Structure 1
Amino acid sequence: MDSPKTKKITINKTPKNVHPKEKANFLSHFLFCWQLKTILDCWRNEVTDDSFITPIRDHETQLLGDRLEALWNKENISRKKPSFTRTLAQFLGTKYVLFGLLYSIADTLSVYEGVVGVGIIVIFSLSQCLFFTKAVAERQKMTRERDSRLRIMNDIIFRMREIKMYALETPFAELVNKLRRCELIHMRKLNHIWNENTTIATYLDKISIYVLILLLTTTGAPLNPQLIFMSINIYNLLKTSVQHSNIAVNLMSDLKVCITRIETFLLSDHESTADTQKIEGIPSCKIYAHNLTAKWNPSQEAAIKNVDFILGCGQLVALTGDTGSGKSSLLQAILQELLIVDGNLSRDGLISYASQNPWVFSATIQENIIFNETFNQNKYLNVLKICALEYDISLFSHGDKTLVGERGNMLSGGQKARINLARAIYKDADIYLLDNPLAAMDVSVAQQIFTQCILKYLKTKSVVLITHNLKFLNYSDKVYVLEDGRVMFSGKYETLEDLPNNVQEKNNETLTKLSAKSYKAQNETKEHKGSDKVNTYTTYLFANESKFFVFLQLLLFILTQVFINGSDTFLSFWINLRQNPSNFNTTLLQYFSDVKCLYIYSGFILIMVFLFHMGSLNFVDCCNKCSAKLHDTLFNKILHGTMKFFDNHASGRIINRISNDISTIDEIIPQYMYQGARQVCSVLGVYVVVNAVNYYMILPTLILLVIFYYYVQAFRPVLNKLKRIAATRKSPIYTHVVATIDGLTTIRVSEAQKHSLSKFERYQDSYNSIRYLHQALHSSYAFWTDFTCMLYVAVVIFFLIIFKKSDMVGNVGLSITQSLLLISTIQYMIKIYSDLDSRMTSVERVAEYGDLTVEDINKNEINPPTTWPANGKILFQSVSMRYSPEKPFILRNIDVEFQAGEKIGIVGRTGAGKSSLINALFHLYEYEGTILIDNVDVKMVPLSTLRSRIATVSQDPVLFSGTMRENLDPFKEFTNCQLWSVLEEVNLKQIVSNLPSGLSSSLSETGVNFSTGQNQLMCLARAILKECTIIVLDEATAFLDLDTDKLIQATIQKRFHKATILRIAHRLDNVMNSDKILVLDDGCVVEFGTPNGLLQNMNGYFYKYVHEYENSSLNIQTYI
């Protein structure tokens, strides 16, 4: 035998390069020359989505995370009331505070001469506290609504197949739209607060000057040009600081809400506090529990109660019991995932765990199995064999290097279950906790794995197996029967004389009825071998399809700027009247008295203020309508997208669109666009005034504009590209976090926290490196803009000294102040425009989804009556289907007819096409040929009608976030009595009535309040309520105990005795009750007939399938 080949699996390992900034000298740092290579690489398209740029050492996620965690732990220990805000202040250090003080001192040194009018600015600055309080309140309300919306969107995106099959698009659309409307109400208020604050800050310098002029005029003091124009410059400087403080207030309100939520989470008791001890005094014992009581959370009833449990060395212990009896909860308690409130729990040895709901993350098959372990080729190949994965892997063109997609969406349910089990088996542990891993598999596959893997491969290990299969209980060293969280029986299977609800008797009936169970195959397989910016802006501005508001806003911007420049020009004219009276005739001097001039100047100011606020109100409303429309368009495209779209797009990217990009459109873009529009109007207005008063400044100004134009052309494409790459690199972070939460228990048991955290850090570093380059490039842009502006100021002053073309003091003062204002305005405009331009990539990304191909769920080529289908007759005529044009057909020329009311069992080997046949029936994918239901072509029927007239219960039961009532009756069609009645039929009435609010009790995401079996019962109750004539059961009772399964089968026979039932099942007793059996192989119908008729053909597929059970039983005996 070859020696084992050992290596460590690594994922996207990247070389440790040195960041270009760390290699730069002082001059390169000062002039930002180290960024030149990045700019050139972007121009040459050498920086792509896959490019890895090493982050600066001080910016590495691991380093910063460890430091922040240490500070928080210190804060948590040393303070009675820990504060995450204080921790962040310590984490950031004092340098940022010192920088802020330096800027503050620089601004203060410029203020002392403009004492009059500064009071207005001081009062406004103090009012920021009021704005901050209101902003925080609205932000918290909006965040709650947004969280609720995104939680529902998460359900929709991850459960889209089930939503389409249940035809739940309409209720989900209503729910999301309702939450969105509430979110927009608070967002509108928040944007009004911000815009009003910004508006006041924008004209604050004019009000301050007006107060100064008013005081001078009313006290009879002369209009001193030096005082007035110096004050104008000072107030302009202060206005910039106030505007920045306004932005800071908005950001601080966001930060406060964010810090509060993080602090709440950090202070919550989200980790197990149980203390397990090493077992002493009990020889050969691996797990010992005495009087163990545990809860999922302190407010709930205990999930397990007074449990005594022992697992010895090398023992196979089985847990069984009714659905929801506490079997999985006991394993979770052993894993310390439950809150232990009483009793003792001890463990001795390493634990490996296979969850009931398979956890498969977005990676290759091999990476999913190896996970955090060392790769050993011989061991790996052996695990593939004993977990019955060899044949499945051979079907994939890339073998075990095939990417399985998010949550394993490229795999069937059985394949996910076996990969999940293989991961647990591959880990070399002392104790194996297997939570019903065989339920989702075909009988022969389950039998093969039980024999080869559990009985043989793990024969020297300690194993806890949850199962409802009584044949497996017979080979257990000890059996525990649980009921309502308590152990009702423990001992050898032979001593188990009376299982609850006569399970023993039922098992005997099952064995008598079927001479064999299973088939030698696996589960079904799907084989998988910078846009135009002008258009982006118009897409945003005209998203609400109302050009009137856009042109009204444009008019308000223009009129406001006219009165701003008009007030400055009139003030210059007033000063000229008083300082240079010889240049004016006597009549003009007498007419424009100081009082009249004050009235006219007051009129300019009042109208300007009125237009400012009118423009602000209209702008917020216009942007709200635009963002609402863009969200609605995006949401509708996602909700009605084809299944092919969801197969080919990572959910993290879709969530990024609906969360991060929509948030940017909601909040950031309106702010930048408002400021940018104001700055553009200001630049145009100032340019007209300056050049009208002093024509010799036209040339320097033109040169300045040309320089800035080339700056924009140089920096803009690079900034946009880096922004786009940063947005792309954020999506894997979302995906990884979601996958980590899904598999948190497995990660903890596998001691793979560091592995998962390391992967997260790589994703975060990849994002941070690009994000830092983007921000650094902004700083470089600002530096060179400032430098050019300084040169321009020097040129302007030089021209004013050399060319004395005017004796008018007012004109000279106006030229200087407006020139200086033009400099800061152009500089700020370019910065705002650059930021806005990069943020508009969010609009671009959202608009991309506007071109998606969607399902036409309401097409009316045929509008069948409300009673359709009255009979339930189904006819497949030459039906062929594939999941995309470049892939092979998964169904080939299916010709079969199901008569009304027939019960059809569908069986077949791996990749046979069982689930694909159901996909075609629901028209989830396009297919060739014809499917007729009651002689109506389903292609002609509206999809919403077709899917709502077929009931389904799948192997992967789906409950959505919301209440029990909303899950049972999403269309609000039934009364309480009807809901309670159907819950009683599926044996859930007692469980639901024990919930705090009964039918109004909320379910957490994906229905984790219930066991998987109870989730299946809920879905069955939903199907019963629909009273359809066609029912599809895809392993509908896979996770139910035998007694509950028998009850449900009786319920199905009773409630659906007239309905056509298509049943995919691994329990052959359920299939054998069918009127006919459809056998599929390689996408073709190979047999179709009654069970007895098919069993007469000893060379037939079904005969071999049924009789494999006896062979499997003989195989078991060889290992006992």
Structure 2
Amino acid sequence: MKHHSITRLLKLMIPHRKAVILAALSVLLVNGAELMKPIILKIVIDDFLILKKPEVGLYSIKFMGILYMAIVILGSFFTFAQINLMNHVGQQIISGLRKRVFNHIQHLPLSFLDKYSTGRLITRATNDVEALNEMYTDVLINLFRDIFLLIGIVFTMFSMNFSLALISLVALPVIVLVTFYFKGKIKENFKVMKSLIGYINGFVAENISGMKLVQVFNRDLEKLKEFKELNAKYHETTLFQIKMNSLLRPIIEILQTLTIAVLVWYGMGRVMNQTLELGVLYAFTNYVKQFFAPINDMAENYNTVQSAVVSADRIFELLDQNDILEDLDSGLPVDKFRGEVEFKNVWFAYRENEWVLKDVSFKIAPGETVAFVGATGAGKTTIINLISRFYEIQKGEILIDGVNIKEYKLRDLRRNVAVVLQDVFLFSGDIKSNIRLNSNISDEKINEALQLSYSEEFIQELPAGINEPVRERGSTFSAGQRQLLSFARAIAHNPSILVLDEATANIDTKTELLIQKSIENVSSNRTTLIIAHRLSTIRNADKIIMLSKSKILEVGNHDELMKRGGYYKELYEAQYA
């Protein structure tokens, strides 16, 4: 068990300390009521049933009955108060922690997300956070209650009869040994369980995303087999957990029964010899039951605590990735760029020493349309990712308007660089919300963007027009329609630098022509960067940068490169031979 995780979990309760203190006071009052019950019954047995003392004033069986009932009612009231308070505190902590994890994930760089599976991140924000819920709402306050109840019982028993108290606690060392034995096994098993559920979530998410491929290539049986193997491993660890639980409680119950049996055997001998009151023995049997009840509770709650600690370790491990967090709001503020982009001797690798860009240098003037061409893996998309600072370069400099992009406020930098990707992502909602993306863009600007991107025509044919619902990833729209909406979104944000990353790769000829016309409409007053495999789409670019094997091979416009007779000409003629 990592003590720093427990400490951090407890610190999350500090903002709610008033409610926690009230709950703790309620618990102490409930414990006091529980300790009073056997004492009242002892008095009734010894004074009224055995000695048959006369009833005097308040000292009567009737009064004792009323007192016992009052204690039960007050105990129930304070139990309700404690449960209600801790549930409120727990839900507030869980809600805040889930929000914190989600916000943290949003600020992680792509370099981290490339190495961390989606399923594991989903598990952190859902399963792992939820695993803490029961601990806050129930287990922690019950642990507090049980510890103080045990202390109160031990103190009361020793005050009442020293020898009976020693007999009552004879099983305690055995309980400690058994608990420590189970502790290690349960903790390690929970680690495996949490890891497996992360893999299962990732596997399911990946399979759903690639369902079309699974069905096209008839991979359903193979995928089912893989899932069965993962599921079987999780099933085994769950059964082991159940086995541990089913063993621990009976062991404690056996120890309780043996303790009571020894206590009754020893106590009745003394009662018969008239060296012990029957009421004291009866009170002790009640205290032993009360003593083992919190031990049973702690044994049952141990699984919850272990699950919570393992989840907390994983959550805090993620939240502790502070050194790589993207700071969106520090740096040089900028409203608009002129659009000059310069790479100076840039070296970049996703993995150490596996260079994707090697000593790349070029300069793009404001308002220029520049195309990047090259084989897959040449580094075209990487250049786009670096301009938006999704990744940090290892050597060299990237400048916009003569200033290193690291000096700009990251939020402002990305607001001024709009990217239209080959794989369009649309959020659930409607068309308008997908174009606006919660920024301060007026309806007038949205309509203008739809006109410039030639999206207006197909939107007008939709039943709800611009308010047409968008399902997950825009699945109800064609690839061409999604691309037009993506282009409209980029235009609506009025970027200083517009980036088209294979934006026309997977669309029909008609949509491609519409996007070409749209590019001509919007590129006159902004820097436009185009990545394309279809060389026909970049013939009118002011400059074409040819990349090969992580380096710049050729630079020029279409006519210049064709006259030069280099690799670009070979590639162009191969496409249109």
With normalisation by structure 1, the TM-score equals 0.49
* Alignment counterpart, residue 380 of structure 2, candidates 910, 914, 930: 914
Q: Quick one: which amino acid aligns to residue 554 of structure 1?
A: A
Matched, 1:892 2:358: yes
- 8 Å CA contact retained: 1:680, 1:829: no
* Alignment counterpart, residue 655 of structure 1, candidates 115, 122, 130: 122
- In 1, Cα distance between equivalents of 2:275 and 2:82: 37
Q: Deviations for 1:293-342, whole angstroms, at most 9, x for unmatched residues?
A: xxxxxxxxxxxxxxxxxxxxxxxxxxxxxxxxxxxxxxxxxxxxxxxxxx
In the other structure, the counterpart of 1:126 is none
In the other structure, the counterpart of 1:843 is 312
Matched, 1:556 2:26: yes
- In 2, Cα distance between equivalents of 1:535 and 1:562: 32
In the other structure, the counterpart of 1:955 is 422
Q: Quick one: which amino acid aligns to residue 947 of structure 1?
A: R
* Alignment counterpart, residue 460 of structure 2, candidates 993, 999, 1021: 993
- In 1, Cα distance between equivalents of 2:208 and 2:76: 52
- 8 Å CA contact retained: 1:874, 1:934: yes
Q: Quick one: which amino acid aligns to residue 29 of structure 2?
A: L
In the other structure, the counterpart of 2:556 is 1089
- 8 Å CA contact retained: 1:1030, 1:1059: yes
- 8 Å CA contact retained: 1:862, 1:941: yes
Superposition map of 1:97-116 within 5 A: none
- In 1, Cα distance between equivalents of 2:460 and 2:13: 47
* Alignment counterpart, residue 301 of structure 2, candidates 823, 832, 839: 832
Q: Quick one: which amino acid aligns to residue 172 of structure 2?
A: L
Q: Number of residue pairs matched?
A: 572
- 8 Å CA contact retained: 1:669, 1:840: no
- In 1, Cα distance between equivalents of 2:154 and 2:301: 19
Q: Deviations for 1:1045-1081, whole angstroms, at most 9, x for unmatched residues?
A: 2222122111221110110011212212110111222
- In 2, Cα distance between equivalents of 1:1026 and 1:820: 70
Q: Quick one: which amino acid aligns to residue 315 of structure 2?
A: V
Q: Deviations for 1:336-360, whole angstroms, at most 9, x for unmatched residues?
A: xxxxxxxxxxxxxxxxxxxxxxxxx
| Offset of residue 1039 of structure 1 | 2.4
Superposition map of 1:504-543 within 5 A: 531-532=1-2, 534-543=3-12
- 8 Å CA contact retained: 2:370, 2:543: yes
SS at match of 2:205: helix
Matched, 1:711 2:178: yes
- 8 Å CA contact retained: 2:370, 2:545: yes
- In 1, Cα distance between equivalents of 2:216 and 2:379: 36
| Offset of residue 615 of structure 1 | 1.5
- In 2, Cα distance between equivalents of 1:545 and 1:998: 50
Matched, 1:946 2:413: yes
Q: Quick one: which amino acid aligns to residue 827 of structure 1?
A: N
Q: Deviations for 1:741-789, whole angstroms, at most 9, x for unmatched residues?
A: 2333443343333222222211111111111112112212223223333
| Offset of residue 638 of structure 1 | 1.1
- In 2, Cα distance between equivalents of 1:1101 and 1:1009: 41
Matched, 1:1051 2:542: no
| Offset of residue 977 of structure 1 | 4.1
Q: Quick one: which amino acid aligns to residue 539 of structure 1?
A: R
Alpha-carbon spacing, 1:749–1:643, altered in 2? closer, same or farther (3 Å): closer
- In 1, Cα distance between equivalents of 2:251 and 2:57: 50
Superposition map of 1:88-487 within 5 A: none
Matched, 1:925 2:394: no
Q: Quick one: which amino acid aligns to residue 379 of structure 2?
A: G
| Offset of residue 603 of structure 1 | 4.6
- 8 Å CA contact retained: 1:716, 1:834: no
The structure with more helix, counted as a fraction of residues = 2
Q: Deviations for 1:643-672, whole angstroms, at most 9, x for unmatched residues?
A: 122111121111122222222223466344
- In 2, Cα distance between equivalents of 1:551 and 1:1097: 81
Flag structure 2 segments of 5+ consecutive residues without an equivalent. none
Superposition map of 1:540-689 within 5 A: 540-546=9-15, 547-579=17-49, 589-594=56-61, 596-597=63-64, 600-667=67-134, 670-689=137-156
* Alignment counterpart, residue 1106 of structure 1, candidates 560, 572, 575: 572
- In 1, Cα distance between equivalents of 2:303 and 2:169: 20
In the other structure, the counterpart of 2:234 is 767
- In 1, Cα distance between equivalents of 2:170 and 2:60: 41
- In 2, Cα distance between equivalents of 1:667 and 1:1053: 59
Matched, 1:823 2:292: yes
Aligned residues: CA RMSD: 2.6
SS at match of 1:649: coil
| Offset of residue 807 of structure 1 | 4.6
Q: Quick one: which amino acid aligns to residue 311 of structure 2?
A: S
SS at match of 1:688: helix
SS at match of 1:858: coil
Q: Quick one: which amino acid aligns to residue 812 of structure 1?
A: L
Q: Quick one: which amino acid aligns to residue 411 of structure 2?
A: S
Q: Quick one: which amino acid aligns to residue 541 of structure 1?
A: L
- In 2, Cα distance between equivalents of 1:590 and 1:1058: 99
In the other structure, the counterpart of 1:731 is 198
Q: Quick one: which amino acid aligns to residue 923 of structure 1?
A: R
Alpha-carbon spacing, 1:648–1:745, altered in 2? closer, same or farther (3 Å): closer
In the other structure, the counterpart of 2:325 is 855
Matched, 1:1076 2:543: yes
* Alignment counterpart, residue 901 of structure 1, candidates 358, 367, 386: 367
Matched, 1:1028 2:498: no
Alpha-carbon spacing, 1:1090–1:746, altered in 2? closer, same or farther (3 Å): closer
Superposition map of 1:998-1017 within 5 A: 998-1017=465-484
Alpha-carbon spacing, 1:962–1:923, altered in 2? closer, same or farther (3 Å): same
- In 2, Cα distance between equivalents of 1:1107 and 1:748: 37
Q: Quick one: which amino acid aligns to residue 900 of structure 1?
A: P
- 8 Å CA contact retained: 1:544, 1:625: no
In the other structure, the counterpart of 2:224 is 757
Q: Quick one: which amino acid aligns to residue 162 of structure 2?
A: Y
Q: Quick one: which amino acid aligns to residue 707 of structure 1?
A: V
- In 1, Cα distance between equivalents of 2:342 and 2:167: 81
Alpha-carbon spacing, 1:612–1:589, altered in 2? closer, same or farther (3 Å): same
In the other structure, the counterpart of 2:249 is 782
Identical-pair percentage: 24
- In 1, Cα distance between equivalents of 2:484 and 2:200: 35
